[in-house]
Structure 1
């Protein structure tokens, strides 16, 4: 079972659930939950929103929308969304950048972001288990469930682990039932698996991409463009095998940017401000219920966004919440006229940014990977995600692709809104991605010999083990940005710990892990380019000190405890362990502390 707990799809975030039995083998056997409280119909996702009503269980999903409560409600509760971004402050900075954007994401005074995420996911968990209980009344209690959460590819390990923590507190995995488990996968990777599988199972997809007789072959590269609400994620893969099993590898390090459909909503507000005037910024008139993300106005504009691009001369008429008449600004009897050119001016800056990101990935294939793959070539761009369903984005991307040398096919697979959750199920049943690219450098703080050409002598000290001058502010990078990795392969590197006190063997030692996203990683641990990934607590109480190398310094014995660190990086998580021989003395994921 897969869950997309907070995917950046449209103006607000949506959550979806797909599932199937583990003995199912085809795409057609994957089901999605299509009944959500308050939705009023059959839909594959529900808004990732939460509202607290005194004396009641939290309202969530479509049931928490502003329009729902505006009908006859005397007290209008605050509707909270996008709260997952606060699980890692760097996400707000990386995704939104400007402080005024971050300020638009309110949190309750009495609740943390982790509590909101857990409260929301608890509702999703109970709803999901209720549906499964009705479908499997006699066998659910004894049927193990693997829950697979999808997260954006740009997320840090801290944000990944925070998602795992929130889900666990909500009841997912073994925290809910001992027989259940939980794992993670990146959203573009899941989308790639779904699309390639559908490409070979669904004739209509091949026809859409004009691939009736030339299906994608081993050696070919393709770009996954996951266009959501706040961000766009891109990853490029190469097909290694098609039959009997699909196998792909990540070709180059993925990319992304802050150019999702939310920025079209911002442009729409700018248009309204220009047409209506200063009163649009008067919060006593144009309240959040009138123009906020859950307002009826923005829901109607969402329909315009989804339909724009179907024809070459789209014109829309939008009912405003006030009876405004201003013919000069094309507002008649409270109805706003939005021309094709108006929509184009709102869409083009965002769409052009997405095309530049795709173009950058295409260039990377040629410069970083293409030189080593004589027979490989980029042939296809696959467009998924909520904004990926936009006809206008598809047409503009297709125009660019046709001018590329050689021309590229653009595929927008059916059910692309649920492509990610469906693909995560497929990856769990039949793992297809064999190797990935590391998105940062991994290392640890390590003392190194003093180098007079590089180091300042005032920062050096004399090492009692070697007798040489050494520098403590140093990073040993053991796995590098763009290195290939797989879940079957561990990165291993040697370290040693200077043990001076027997009483601290159980809890007095830890391994500090460091990271860097810059291509040229600095050697100094104190560099602003270096960030902490986490710490691995170690228990050396079973180590026999008398068997270790030792040296007396100033009357005190020092023992040299040599260890091997093993690092495993998955699609959307990382784990670390410290070994002496065949015994593990400590293991950890990236810690999250709220």
Structure 2
């Protein structure tokens, strides 16, 4: 194994993707109890009927501590099964991909290092369950083993700080975007070209906050308003709901780039030619027969503000802990 960590490479090709991506969508579609599609395949290969069965946003539900909205409606037992199935497919793809690129790959000693949400550090049951799952998928042999190496905040510090920070630098890392916000303050103790090593100066802290909390708030709102649609049968209604969710995802990603005048309009499939079922819907435009769901920019602002305030509260507590416990340290 080389000690020069400047040559790290990422796997960017995954099933169902037409272009390279750094992340794989954490999604599964089942046929009965068998995984039919996973990752990017769930969007690119699935039919309408299959997409309404997509399992997603199940990471938070793996911990019995995360109840309510954070679990996105998943039971703990089911969420842990989804995790095992998803990890099995990711691991199989990694092994197959590297075996094609590296001679005698199966006889190389490979260590899979996993990061976990900081919220799990206070949940021994979930951590033990995840460790067993990793051991079952990766195996523990002469050539393979899997370990939980660090929290997601620590992993972000290592990834972003490898070439940016020098020994002795103190950084606050806020890793957010999906279902959790993970925050910690670290001090870099590694030298140049050495694998990044960090020392935590505060305890890991995390909470179910981030993009997923915005998605959940939007989903709750959309469902409450779409109940007024009587024209659609159950499957068509689910498909319409998913289409509106997909439209919301697009406006969420563009939010803040420019000031919005008027409502966001999200097309509702299966409703063309009908009259808007309530004041929460309108026709798509002059001469259009397309029915659209309306979302006011103020609502989007409220959902973003709520998520951001949750994250800022965690950051504030970490800064207070640094000032209290390490008075001589300053964040670079």
Q: TM-score, normalised by structure 2?
A: 0.79
Equivalent of residue 130 in structure 1, options 93, 96, 119: 96
Whether 2:283 is the aligned partner of 1:325: answer: no
Q: Deviations over 1:4-23 (max 9, x none)?
A: xxxxxxxxxxxxxxxxxx42
Is 1:165 paired with 2:165?
Answer: no
Distance of 2:260 and 2:51 partners within structure 1: 39
Task: Please state if 1:104 is matched with 2:73.
Answer: yes
Give 1:127 shift: 1.2
Cα distance in 1 for partners of 2:182, 2:316 equals 13
Q: How big is the shift at 1:350?
A: 1.0
The aligned runs of 1:553-572 (5 Å cut-off) are none
1:181 maps to what in 2? Answer: 145
Distance 1:224 1:53, change over 3 A: same
What is the distance in 1 between the residues matched to 2:73 and 2:24? 21
- Give the secondary-structure state (helix, strand or coil) at the position aligned to 2:126: helix
Structure-2 separation of matches of 1:36 and 1:45: 9
Q: 1:275 to 1:117 in 2, by over 3 A?
A: closer
Output one character per residue of 1:215-243: Cα deviation in whole Å (capped at 9) or x when no partner: x773x532111113222111111345655
Match of 2:246 in 1: 299
Partner of 1:539: none
Question: What are the within-5 Å matches in structure 2 for residues 496-535 of structure 1?
Answer: none
Q: Distance in 2 between matches of 1:39 and 1:366?
A: 46
Match of 2:187 in 1: 238
* 1:227 matched residue in structure 2: 176
Map 1:281-296 onto structure 2 (within 5 A).
Answer: 284=234, 287-291=237-241, 295-296=242-243
Shift of 1:264: 1.1
Structure 1 pair 244/141, CA: closer, same or farther in 2 (3 Å)?
closer
Q: Rg: which structure is higher?
A: 1
Q: In the alignment, is the contact (CA less than 8 A) between 2:110 and 2:145 conserved in 1?
A: yes
Q: Higher strand proportion, which one?
A: 1
Residue 197 of structure 1: which of 159, 162, 172 is its match? 162
The structure-2 alpha-carbon separation of the partners of 1:52 and 1:217, relative to structure 1 and needing over 3 Å to count, comes to closer
Q: C-alpha deviations, 1:532-567, integer Å up to 9, x for none?
A: xxxxxxxxxxxxxxxxxxxxxxxxxxxxxxxxxxxx
The structure in which a higher percent of residues are helix is 2
1:546-589 CA-to-partner distances (Å, cap 9, x unmatched) read: xxxxxxxxxxxxxxxxxxxxxxxxxxxxxxxxxxxxxxxxxxxx
Distance 2:233 2:184 in 1: 41
Q: Distance in 1 between matches of 2:325 and 2:116?
A: 26
* Contact 2:172/2:186, CA 8 A, preserved across alignment: yes
Query: For residues 269 and 286 of structure 1, what CA distance do their matches in structure 2 show?
Result: 17
Q: For residues 223 and 144 of structure 1, do their structure 2 counterparts lie closer, same or farther at Cα, with a shift above 3 Å needed?
A: same
1:352 offset after TM fit, Å? 1.5
The equivalent residue for 1:268 is 218
Per-residue CA shift, 1:458-488, capped at 9, x if unaligned?
A: xxxxxxxxxxxxxxxxxxxxxxxxxxxxxxx
Structure 1 residue 150 corresponds to structure 2 residue 115: yes
Superposition TM-score, scaled by structure 1 size:
0.47
SS of the residue aligned with 1:198? Answer: coil
Instruction: Give, in whole Å, the separation in 1 of the partners of 2:193 and 2:225.
Output: 59
Q: How many residues align?
A: 317
Q: Is the 8 A contact 1:251 1:365 kept in 2?
A: yes
Q: Equivalent residue for 1:117?
A: 83
Once the two structures are TM-superposed, the CA of residue 115 in structure 1 deviates from its matched residue by 4.4
Instruction: List runs of 5+ in structure 1 lacking aligned partners.
Output: 1-21, 201-215, 380-594
Partner of 1:360: 317
Q: Is this contact kept in 1: 2:111–2:147, CA < 8 A?
A: yes
Kindly tell me: are residues 302 and 30 of structure 1, through their superposed partners in 2, closer, same or farther at Cα, counting changes over 3 Å? farther
User: Higher mean Cα deviation, 309-318 or 247-256?
Assistant: 309-318
The alignment's C-alpha RMSD in Å is 3.5
The Cα of 1:103 is off from its aligned counterpart by 7.2
Relative to structure 1, the CA distance from residue 286 to residue 357 in structure 2 (aligned partners, 3 Å threshold; closer, same or farther) is farther
CA distance change for structure 1 residues 271 and 129 in 2, over 3 Å: closer, same or farther? same
